[in-house]
A and B are shown apart, each in its own frame.
Chain A
């Protein structure tokens, strides 16, 4: 059965002055997929995400998220997507519960509905014990997990995560990856995440896109990229790093 395409980009281009941040990018992601967006710093991953969210307008090309144009129907898109920005911030003098409730209210979720949801989510991201503490005292890992909870409170269909594991210690990274995986398996959410850490992308993605200097140089399942990039046959061993470096050198 053909799955519904939830993210579709065609010939998407973003110019900052003369510089092409994103260069005619065409890509689609199907429902329930975990798409890992890979590339060095400054490759245009965040800019692509901002265009998907309607937080910046594309110079040319089209974007559709669940059939809506984020630049023209921002509210419809924002109702069904969750976005975790890189280095997300919180209202430091409020506790985790208050932060979550604020986001829930902004999504027009009544307090009696959100109260139960907040408790469940805090349990899920392992913050139930610290829920009463001000967010100002949270560690980086706790903040990142609270960020995930904020994304999930509105029960989105598509989740955008920008560098979700950046700056986390190994334990925090593993917990985060576990969390992301469970989102796609248990909640059937579509996940579009960016990272420049290869082994993590390899661990959790169904498909991988490699972006270098604004251009999408390869996209597909890992095995396919290995065949095309390295000319390997099925069964031979490879790592994403080898594939990535190959493409990186070519670019």
Chain B
């Protein structure tokens, strides 16, 4: 245990004194202020003279304002934070020739990885909590609504999901820093996987679905419908391989009590939307959590897979100083 604590302490000191932390802090302030003012101001306009809907405070995080919402933004750029914090965790020690010294001390090798991961997770938690606090603070000023108890709980769960999501990317980046000896290579590999999993999985899922169950233009309504449903199902299953989809679905469910499924796969027209609004009572917190749980477990599972590979590679790796 002392090994983990010692390395954790040193890693935290390194993080706080590094240029990287300044960059991330600047990024956090920038994102927080931009999103809070963009979303806050557009909500101010929309809500002018209208009775405040329930859970209006959470809309600070889910409504898109002019460009994008906070959860979309974190879904897209959160991985960057994880990658920045982890891409050179191990190979920096290797190129600094401190790794062989480190592994010849009486500590388990996994303590090195664990401590670096935990330090990264702490940083991620600091970043996410301060982002949410900045947006909440500015949001309260702009829309003049204070969050209720349930909203705070939902935000806390959202924070947990976000930290897990970014931690997955941290784990992946640390894995690459074990596998690749050069920091530039591991950074590029992390970015490639990020782009691949975030953007191309959805695309590939579409191709896969079209190949397996093409949407037919037939007169037979039943057949066409079943093909369409199957197509959508395949696409959906494939998209679950993307951590970004997992994250997006989980967070939008937890932050928007009016959503009852992670994703409606058929786009609704105005008429259907109208008829549906009769059922639009907010989902209780417990039910939202139940919907989100599988996504959470998947996120944890893929992070553990990363770690498993990391251990397997690192434990038996020969470490030379040159």
- Alpha-carbon distance A186/B3, docked complex (angstroms): 31
Whether A55 pairs with B100 at a CB distance below 8 angstroms is yes
Chain A residues, Cβ within 8 Å of B265? none
Whether A85 pairs with B318 at a CB distance below 8 angstroms is no
Whether, in the assembled complex, A119 has its beta carbon less than 8 Å from a beta carbon of chain B, the answer is no
Q: B-side interface residues toward A, CB under 8 Å?
A: 2-3, 6-7, 9-10, 17, 96-98, 100-108, 316, 318-322
- Alpha-carbon distance A108/B1, docked complex (angstroms): 10
Chain B residues, Cβ within 8 Å of A75? 106-108
- Alpha-carbon distance A50/B100, docked complex (angstroms): 10
Minimum CB distance partner of B100 in chain A: A85
Selected from B106, B318, B320, the residue in CB contact (under 8 A) with A106 is B106
Per the CB 8 Å criterion, the residue count for chain A at the interface is: 29
Whether A55 pairs with B97 at a CB distance below 8 angstroms is no
Whether, in the assembled complex, A107 has its beta carbon less than 8 Å from a beta carbon of chain B, the answer is yes
Chain B residues, Cβ within 8 Å of A57? 316
- Alpha-carbon distance A55/B2, docked complex (angstroms): 21
Whether A88 pairs with B101 at a CB distance below 8 angstroms is yes
Which residue of B2, B10, B97, B101 has the most chain A CB atoms within 10 A of its CB atom?
A: B101
Whether, in the assembled complex, A206 has its beta carbon less than 8 Å from a beta carbon of chain B, the answer is no
- Alpha-carbon distance A93/B319, docked complex (angstroms): 23
A92-B96, A102-B6 are contacts. A107–B104 as well, Cβ < 8 Å?
Answer: no
Whether B106 pairs with A107 at a CB distance below 8 angstroms is yes
Minimum CB distance partner of A16 in chain B: B318
Selected from B10, B98, B318, the residue in CB contact (under 8 A) with A50 is B318
Minimum CB distance partner of A90 in chain B: B98
Minimum CB distance partner of B99 in chain A: A89
- Alpha-carbon distance A177/B163, docked complex (angstroms): 53
Chain B residues, Cβ within 8 Å of A50? 318-320
A92-B96, A102-B10, A106-B3 are contacts. A85–B108 as well, Cβ < 8 Å?
Answer: no
- Alpha-carbon distance A139/B320, docked complex (angstroms): 22
- Alpha-carbon distance A57/B319, docked complex (angstroms): 11
Whether, in the assembled complex, A53 has its beta carbon less than 8 Å from a beta carbon of chain B, the answer is yes
Minimum CB distance partner of B9 in chain A: A105
Whether, in the assembled complex, A193 has its beta carbon less than 8 Å from a beta carbon of chain B, the answer is no
Whether B319 pairs with A91 at a CB distance below 8 angstroms is no
Selected from B3, B98, B318, the residue in CB contact (under 8 A) with A56 is B318
- Alpha-carbon distance A55/B103, docked complex (angstroms): 8
Whether A91 pairs with B105 at a CB distance below 8 angstroms is no
Minimum CB distance partner of B94 in chain A: A89
- Alpha-carbon distance A62/B262, docked complex (angstroms): 58
Chain A residues, Cβ within 8 Å of B98? 89-91
A residues 123-175 near B (Cβ < 8 Å) are: 150, 162
- Alpha-carbon distance A107/B6, docked complex (angstroms): 10
Nearest Cβ on chain B to A44's Cβ, whole angstroms: 13
- Alpha-carbon distance A86/B104, docked complex (angstroms): 13
- Alpha-carbon distance A85/B102, docked complex (angstroms): 11
A41-66: CB near B (< 8 Å → 1, else 0) gives: 00000100010010111000000000
- What are 26 A-B contacts with C-beta separation under 8 Å? A50-B319, A50-B320, A55-B100, A55-B103, A55-B104, A57-B316, A83-B101, A85-B97, A85-B100, A85-B321, A87-B321, A88-B97, A88-B321, A89-B96, A89-B97, A89-B98, A89-B101, A89-B321, A105-B2, A106-B3, A106-B7, A106-B102, A106-B106, A107-B106, A108-B2, A108-B106
Known: A86-B321, A92-B96. 7 other contacts (CB 8 A): A46-B320, A53-B104, A55-B320, A56-B318, A85-B320, A93-B17, A105-B9
Whether, in the assembled complex, A79 has its beta carbon less than 8 Å from a beta carbon of chain B, the answer is yes
Nearest Cβ on chain A to B280's Cβ, whole angstroms: 57
Selected from B9, B106, B320, the residue in CB contact (under 8 A) with A78 is B106
- Alpha-carbon distance A108/B108, docked complex (angstroms): 13
- Alpha-carbon distance A57/B315, docked complex (angstroms): 11
Whether A103 pairs with B322 at a CB distance below 8 angstroms is no
Chain A residues, Cβ within 8 Å of B2? 105-106, 108
Chain B residues, Cβ within 8 Å of A78? 104-107
Which residue of A46, A57, A102, A150 has the most chain B CB atoms within 10 A of its CB atom?
A: A102
Chain B residues, Cβ within 8 Å of A53? 104
Nearest Cβ on chain A to B11's Cβ, whole angstroms: 11
